[in-house]
Amino acid sequence: MSTTSTAPPDASTSSPASNSTSSDTLPVLPGAAPAFETTGNVTYANITLDDFSPVLSFSNNSGVALQGDWVTPLTDSDLSAARPLPQREWYLGTYMRTETVNASVTFAFEGSEVHLYGDTGPTYGVYTIQVDDQTPELKTAYYPAQAAGAAHYLASVKNLTEGNHTVTIVNRGTREGLNEGRAFLLDYVVIRQRVGPIDSGNDEPKISDVAGEDLKSLNTTGTWTLVTKPDDVYTTQGVNASQPKVWLETAEKGAQIGLEFGNATAIQVYGTRNGTHGAYIASLANFDLPTFAPVINSFNASVPCGLTAANTTGSTLNDPANVLPGCEWPGTVLKYSAANLDPGSRYALTLQNVDEDGGVLGVGLIRTFGIEGEEVAAGQFPQSLTGGGNGSSGGTSGGSNGGSEGGSAGNGAMRMGVGVPELVFMMLAWVFVWRGSWATDQLAAAFWGFEEMSCQPGIRALSE
């Protein structure tokens, strides 16, 4: 396979890349409160997508050397000297790195800005960033000196229209005639999105969480287990994250968990992701839309956790002592998000395990931004995550990914077609999950609103 890019040698870039770890868009640990910024009567917040978040879709991601496009700290072995060693202060201790030309990562988001963080140095080359159907912009991660410390700033896209967007990043490798590397590394993404206003008297949203023991109060179908596990995830700046150490999980295909809520402008779902996890669907319905048809997004929370024997001949990399810790990575990442919701509408969010091979679906925190909840300083953890206070009741307050009228799906990557039979099954399951709730009264209307649609990974929001 060629390691040179088709990008012309004289194509403009901001070369050399930035070699700085400083930025105004620092990541927020999972569970910590974001900083709100209010301009006029509109409130914005930054959310952080770790490279392990299933919201991001990586090309050919087997995670195995010589077989997949991308590797992680768990599988970045037996490769060339280009691998970033010694390991540094990566956000949540993870990254996704590639040396494959045309390897890509795609994600959808709701917002107006996106900021990329990864690595720079002599082993890195050029890459392109494309937003929606705009012309791809050529960037470079090459820098003469090897980077050190935490992740380095790569690039930003600003001044986008507030709404749904899709970003595609493609590694272009080494340009012929230039002294560049061929690798690209992504550590995390920061997105700026609108989460307010709430009303004329309270422009800054409050935080309401469903976490810990409160998770058991959610509507569920199937078998769910409350898991408590020590969290030894290493985070950027050398800090051990106070992430949720308690979560609900299920390995039963078809099992669901749901939350009905209102008075909210945004919602985020955090949970576990590792080699034991699998595919799931997130479905959000706005009860105030005439058709009540939910928007359905598909995700895959599995992540490669070890090299195969074929790639580890003569080594100990396939030893269970090396593979097992990676398979059971205990970190928490963003698994679903939506913003710019109508606080006057009522919503229902349902997560369903759809994995065919017994993969796990884990949910550790459902956070909503709205009228009710705690006022938490930026970077701090709410009482519900630190053992104090009463947290959320798990019932009514929250915010949610809205969904456009008629059940249309928004921008996203790696689409998976979902037809009428699957949607009918989802609605029958909804009857069981939401039995006795206001939602069941809308079932008849829901069936009439279904049309064939696409499931797409990404961050969805209510159409304006």
Q: Is the pLDDT of residue 206 over 50?
A: yes
Q: What percent of the chain has pLDDT over 90?
A: 37
435 lies in a domain? yes
Instruction: Tell me: do 236 and 296 sit in the same domain.
Output: yes
Per the model's pLDDT, the better-predicted residue between 267 and 305 turns out to be: 267
Q: How confident is the model at residue 448 (pLDDT cuts 50, 70, 90)?
A: very low
Domain shared by 157 and 210, yes or no: no
Q: Is the pLDDT of residue 320 over 60?
A: no
pLDDT of residue 294: 86
Same structural domain for residues 26 and 162? yes
Residue where one domain finishes, among candidates 167, 194, 221 = 194
Confidence check: pLDDT of 389 > 70: no
Check residue 289 and give its pLDDT: 84
The answer to whether residue 304 sits within a structural domain is yes
pLDDT at 373: 81
CATH number at residue 348: 2.60.120.260
Asked if residue 343 has pLDDT above 60, the reply is yes
Is residue 109 in a domain? yes
pLDDT for residue 202: 59
Determine the average pLDDT of the residues in 449-460: 35
- What average pLDDT does the segment 359-364 reach? 94
Mean pLDDT in residue range 95-112 = 92
- Looking at the 3D structure of the chain, how many domains does it have? 2
Tokens of 381: 């953890």
Which region among 193-207, 318-332, 443-457 has the lowest average model confidence (pLDDT)? 443-457
By the 8 A CB rule, do 306 and 312 touch? no
- Judge if 178 and 316 occupy the same domain: no
**Model confidence band, residue 3 (pLDDT cutoffs 50, 70, 90):** very low
Please tell me whether residues 70 and 167 are part of one structural domain. yes
Say if residue 255 is in the same domain as residue 166.
no
Q: What is the pLDDT averaged over residues 83-100? A: 75
Report the percent of the chain where pLDDT is more than 70: 63
> What confidence category does residue 332 fall into, taking pLDDT thresholds of 50, 70 and 90?
confident
Say how far apart CA 423 and CA 153 lie, in whole Å: 42
- The residue from 138, 172, 194 where one domain ends is 194
Q: Residue 13: pLDDT above 70?
A: no
Report pLDDT for 430: 52
What is the reported pLDDT for 446?
Answer: 38
* Higher pLDDT, residue 1 or 343: 343
Lowest mean pLDDT across 19-28, 142-151, 390-399: 390-399
162 and 271 together in one domain: no
Q: Per-residue pLDDT for 451 more than 60? A: no
C-alpha to C-alpha distance for 443 and 292, rounded to whole angstroms? 8
Q: Which amino acid is present at 363? A: V
- In a shared domain, residues 318 and 173: no
pLDDT one-digit tens code per residue, 209-243: 999 899 999 999 999 999 987 666 655 544 445 55
pLDDT at 322: 43
How far the first Cα of the chain sits from its last, in Å, is: 46
More confident residue, 205 or 403: 205
The domain boundary, picked from 159, 194, 229, lies at 194
Q: What is the pLDDT of residue 233?
A: 65
Q: Does 463 reside within a domain?
A: no
Alpha-carbon distance values, 157 to 39, 453, 461 (Å): 20, 29, 20
* Whether pLDDT at 414 is above 60: no
Range with lowest mean pLDDT among 41-55, 219-233, 263-277, 389-403: 389-403
pLDDT above 80 for 365? yes
Tell me how far apart the alpha carbons of residues 105 and 119 are, in angstroms, rounded to a whole number.
16
CA-CA distance, 267 to 460, in Å (whole number)? Answer: 10
Same-domain check for residues 282 and 143? no
What pLDDT was estimated at residue 316?
46
| DSSP per residue, 244-295 | --EEEEE-STT-EEEEEEESEEEEEEEEE-STTB-EEEEEEEETTSSS-PPE
**Residue 169 and residue 37 in one domain:** yes
Can you give the residue range of the structural domain that contains 372? 206-455
**Residue 49 located in a structural domain:** yes
Q: What is the pLDDT of residue 129?
A: 97
Q: Are 265 and 399 in contact (CB under 8 A)?
A: yes
Same domain, 177 and 239: no
What sign has the CA pseudo-torsion 299, 302, 307, 308?
Answer: negative
Whole-number pLDDT of residue 106: 96
Do 250 and 178 lie in one domain? The reply is no
The answer to whether residue 398 sits within a structural domain is: yes
Please provide the average confidence, as pLDDT, over all residues in the chain. Answer: 73
Q: Is residue 8 part of a domain?
A: no
Residue 97 falls within a domain, yes or no? yes
What was the pLDDT predicted at 458?
A: 37
- Assess whether pLDDT exceeds 80 at residue 14: no
pTM: 0.77
